[in-house]
Amino acid sequence: MHLTNLEERMLSGENGEVMGRMFRLLVRLGEIYGADRMIPVNSSQVAGVSYKSIGDPGIEFLEDYASKNAKVKVVTFLNPAGMDIEDWQKLNIPPGFAEKQLRIMNAFKKMGIVVSATCTPYLAGNLPRFREHIAWSESSAISFSNSVIGARTNREGGPSALAAALCGVTPNYGLHLDENRKPQMLVEVNARLEDSADFGALGYVVGKQAKNRIPYFKGIKEADTDQLKALGAAMAASGAVALYHVEDMTPEAHLMNTNGLEKLSVSDKDVNETFAKLTTGKEPDIIILGCPHSSLKEIMMVSRKLEGKKLNKPLWICTSRMVKEAANRMGFTQIIETAGGKVVADTCMVVSPIEDMGYKTTAVNSGKAANYLPGFCKQSVIFGRLDNILEKVTV
Ligand code: F3S
């Protein structure tokens, strides 16, 4: 791999031990995947933020780097943390967990990372442009930025995204290159898709078949950005899809040739069977929405549905801090709280310790959450459309 003089110096440790170590990681990755050179990235998003995921070794690693004055070169956001950084007490997060989580956030902050912990950085102030190179590591954010925005990122791990953030570059391979962004299967959609949950169910079905291939969708007549984020998130969870194209909708679709691709058809029956298959519980202990993190529009929709009603089960709507601030200002949060729910920032149902808080059955409208909650949080799941879920728990 060709390295510039500056990069050679970074590699030799001239810019400090941390930079040397991080640059070596990027070079190694580049060698494994056959990159020709490093390319600059304009933003990064680092996963491995929740204390539940990284534990004490993760804290030690981050505090060590922060104490050595490691500083990011590009705007860098974080993946969701294990709790709402400001309102964790109201959510009954165990204090021992909170103390560790706050240490993690402080270490990231010392490195110059924006401690907005969200899987939708593009809704919270970190929006890449078409064809921009970035290094993101949360799977739904990767899918959205590659597919809906047309930015370019590989599926980075937490360490490689941190390395890219600190060094300002990433190896040039994989989805950074035109030739690797072509569709590898054709999905013909013959299902009625109305609610975001329908898109999550479709994504679950396609992700299972696609694995890490690139699907090209035909037959999706209408979808807003919230529904596309639900689709991508589910495909990245049941499979490892990092990029998809939708005819007449996503920005690279018109450049693609679909002749001769393997075909998959998805019908109403497939979508409905997915709701049934992923539903393993009966009565929810809690309802958690916002996987991926809710947009302002989604919070507004829930607040309208809850106006004048009372919830008989706890409800969390997970979102980014920035979107929560806007929801507060618009009065949406207050309506939701009056009904008995909470708008929760910085965290989500999968990375927070809900299994230690007495919850055993969680209702969700997300194909990704329905897929992950049994394994990551020991939950039985109720997976359904928003109206169906709220109907069960409002009076
Ligand atoms: Fe985001 Fe957590 Fe879902 S990181 S995509 S809300 S599992």
How many angstroms does the Cα of residue 348 sit away from the middle of ligand 1? Answer: 6
Q: Residue type at 144?
A: F
Query: What secondary structure does DSSP assign to 65-89, as a single string?
Result: HHHTT---SSEEEE--BSS-TTTTT
CB 293 near ligand 1, within 6 Å: yes
* pLDDT digits 0-9 by tens, 121-143: 999 999 999 999 999 999 999 99
* pLDDT value of position 13: 92
Of 373, 356, 354, the residue nearest 314 (C-alpha) = 354
* pLDDT value of position 272: 97
Of 174, 181, 171, 168, the residue nearest 43 (C-alpha) = 168
Closest ligand 1 atom, residue 290 Cα: 6
CB 119 near ligand 1, within 6 Å: yes
CB 292 near ligand 1, within 6 Å: yes
- State how far the Cα of 117 lies from the Cα of 372, in Å rounded to an integer: 19
276-283: average pLDDT: 97
Beta strands in the chain (DSSP E): 38-40, 43-46, 75-78, 135-136, 169-171, 185-190, 215-218, 245-246, 262-267, 286-294, 315-319, 341-345, 361-364, 380-383
Pairing of strands 380-383, 361-364: parallel
How many angstroms does the Cα of residue 351 sit away from the middle of ligand 1? Answer: 8
* pLDDT digits 0-9 by tens, 202-224: 999 999 999 999 999 999 999 99
Say how many Å lie between the first and final Cα of the chain, rounded. 63
* Protein residue whose Cα sits closest to atom 1 of ligand 1: 292
* pLDDT value of position 392: 86
How many angstroms does the Cα of residue 183 sit away from the middle of ligand 1? Answer: 25
CA 321 vs CA 121, 343, 344: distances in Å: 10, 10, 8
The region of weakest confidence among 143-147, 252-256, 382-386, 391-395 is 391-395
CB 140 near ligand 1, within 6 Å: yes
* Angle made by CA atoms 276, 228, 40, in degrees to the nearest 5: 130
Instruction: Give the distance from CA 246 to its chain's centroid.
Output: 20
Of 132, 371, 91, 380, the residue nearest 237 (C-alpha) = 371
- State how far the Cα of 351 lies from the Cα of 218, in Å rounded to an integer: 34
Residue 183 CB contacts under 8 Å (≥ 6 apart), including other chains: 214, 215, 216, 245, 256, 258, 261
CB 98 near ligand 1, within 6 Å: no
* pLDDT digits 0-9 by tens, 39-88: 999 999 999 999 999 999 999 999 999 999 999 999 999 999 999 999 99
* pLDDT value of position 285: 97
Residue 138 CB contacts under 8 Å (≥ 6 apart), including other chains: 45, 47, 79, 80, 119
Residue 388 CB contacts under 8 Å (≥ 6 apart), including other chains: none
* Protein residue whose Cα sits closest to atom 5 of ligand 1: 292
How many angstroms does the Cα of residue 17 sit away from the middle of ligand 1? Answer: 33
CB atoms within 10 A of CB 144: 26
* pLDDT digits 0-9 by tens, 94-118: 999 999 999 999 999 999 999 989 9
* pLDDT value of position 73: 97
* pLDDT digits 0-9 by tens, 226-253: 999 999 999 999 999 999 999 999 999 9
Of 74, 96, 124, 66, the residue nearest 346 (C-alpha) = 124
* Angle made by CA atoms 222, 151, 371, in degrees to the nearest 5: 60
Of 135, 162, 144, 159, the residue nearest 39 (C-alpha) = 135
Q: Give 37's DSSP letter.
A: B
Structure token digits, residue 250 = 């996503």
* Angle made by CA atoms 84, 89, 353, in degrees to the nearest 5: 60
* pLDDT value of position 359: 96
Pairing of strands 245-246, 215-218: parallel
Percent of the chain with pLDDT over 70: 100
Structure token digits, residue 69 = 């004055």
How many angstroms does the Cα of residue 5 sit away from the middle of ligand 1? Answer: 40
12-29: average pLDDT: 95
* pLDDT value of position 51: 97
- State how far the Cα of 230 lies from the Cα of 210, in Å rounded to an integer: 16
* pLDDT digits 0-9 by tens, 320-343: 999 999 999 999 999 999 999 999
Do 341 and 386 form a contact (C-beta atoms < 8 A)? no
Structure token digits, residue 260 = 């001769």
* Protein residue whose Cα sits closest to atom 3 of ligand 1: 291
Of 86, 77, 152, 146, the residue nearest 117 (C-alpha) = 77
- State how far the Cα of 168 lies from the Cα of 70, in Å rounded to an integer: 13
How many angstroms does the Cα of residue 15 sit away from the middle of ligand 1? Answer: 35
